[in-house]
Amino acid sequence: MPVRLKDIADDLNLSKMTISKVLSGQTDISAETKARVLQRVKELKYIPNINANSLRTGQTMTVGLILPSLREVHLSEIAEGVAEVIRADGYVLLVGNNGNDPELEQRQLEMFLSRQVDAVILISTQETNEFLEQMNAPRKTNLVFVNRKPPGSSEHFVGLHEEEVGRIACEHLISCGCKRIAYLRGPRTAIGDLRARGYRRAISDRGLTFQPNLVIDTMGTGETEYRRGFRAMAKLLERRSRPDGVIAYTDSMAAGAMDAGLRAGVKIPAEMLFAGCGNDTLLCDMRVPLTSVDLCSHEIGQRAGRMALRLSTPGKSAAGRGSLVKPKLVRRLSTGL
């Protein structure tokens, strides 16, 4: 039979109220009494009744996180950042995977709401906020968007300064002496467009001429990112005038592009420099170590976790609806470190 709060109270000759105050962290209990209670709780392996606590406080001490994938490194780093922050406040993280499926995302959000989680952190696949408005209509939802939010949404948001990703990578290659910088761009999404804009901005700001033929669209083939990068680089190498620098939308794409260059006899970094995005250390440390833009995913997760706590904890301010994290360049041998 599970140990009850009453069992601990009877065992120590204290009231249930005193035991409850100790377990909830209230400070009007003597240090001696607190030590006695916590020691007995440990000895008896007491597990608090979450449902009972929820009825009393109106909180379930849970936060839901919905991710588009469980495989991508930067998404797992976001989850780790969220868990680290909310765990310190006694919250539990529930994780769902929507598989980039808007319908599955909706069902998972409904499931989290039915479980009465105190907040939901969402990396959304939705292109509009119509569904989210419907969800908010019957009840208030403590919702935090990460990386992407539907147009016009007034919800709380934590993301990356995406335009800076393309800009700092391109500026780095220019500072290394590159003048013909190719860009293997990502999907035609808001994030993909912002990174491409950063690349073009750096070209313009540094007085170089933008050359559209150096921008390779890598999407739509159904292949892996590595293969798309390999094929894109093969196209560039077929041209009379080769680039002296290459930026890829992801590290996997950059790895494919570098392998295509090495197979064709390109000396890296003596003849051509490469930069990726994501700072995936497993990829960046292979063959020629890859310079990459760190997306600061762990910090994004931490900020999202703190925002979720502010929204769900009574008495805490929920001010500050937008938070953007600046990416960081990590230099390695592919750009001549």
Interior angle at CA 313, CA 81 and CA 63, nearest 5: 45
pLDDT at 320 > cutoff 60: no
Which ranges of the chain would DSSP assign to H, the alpha helix?
Answer: 5-12, 16-23, 31-44, 50-57, 73-88, 102-114, 130-136, 162-175, 190-205, 225-238, 251-263, 281-284, 297-312
Mean pLDDT of the chain: 86
Q: From 3.40.50.2300, 3.30.70.120, 3.30.1490.20, 1.10.3720.10, which CATH number describes the 60-159+298-324 domain?
A: 3.40.50.2300
Beta bridge partners of 274: 246
- Tracing tokens 């992407």 back to the chain, one arrives at 148
Q: What average pLDDT score do residues 100-120 get?
A: 86
**The pLDDT of residue 253:** 95
Q: How confident is the model at residue 21 (pLDDT cuts 50, 70, 90)?
A: confident
Say how far apart CA 218 and CA 229 lie, in whole Å.
Answer: 7
31-59: per-residue pLDDT in tens?
A: 888 888 888 888 877 766 655 555 455 57
**The pLDDT of residue 269:** 96
List where CATH 3.40.50.2300 sits in the chain: 60-159+298-324, 162-295+329-335
Q: What average pLDDT score do residues 122-133 get?
A: 69
**The pLDDT of residue 312:** 83
List where CATH 1.10.260.40 sits in the chain: 5-48
Q: What average pLDDT score do residues 96-102 get?
A: 84
Q: Is 45 left (phi over 0), alpha (psi -120 to 50) or beta?
A: left
CB 226 within 8 A of CB 256: yes
CA dihedral 148, 219, 107, 95 (to 10 degrees): -70
- Poorest-confidence range of 37-46, 83-92, 189-198? 37-46
The amino acid present at 52, given as its one-letter code, is A
Higher-confidence position of 187 and 298: 298
Higher-confidence position of 132 and 223: 223
Say how far apart CA 203 and CA 153 lie, in whole Å.
Answer: 32
CB 219 within 8 A of CB 231: no
**The pLDDT of residue 276:** 96
232-257: per-residue pLDDT in tens?
A: 999 999 988 899 999 999 999 999 99
Q: Does domain 5-48 have CATH number 1.10.260.40?
A: yes
The answer to whether the predicted template modeling score (pTM) of the entire model surpasses 0.85 is: no
Say how far apart CA 92 and CA 40 lie, in whole Å.
Answer: 24
CB 276 within 8 A of CB 290: yes
Q: Which CATH superfamily is domain 162-295+329-335 in?
A: Response regulator (3.40.50.2300)
Beta bridge partners of 237: none
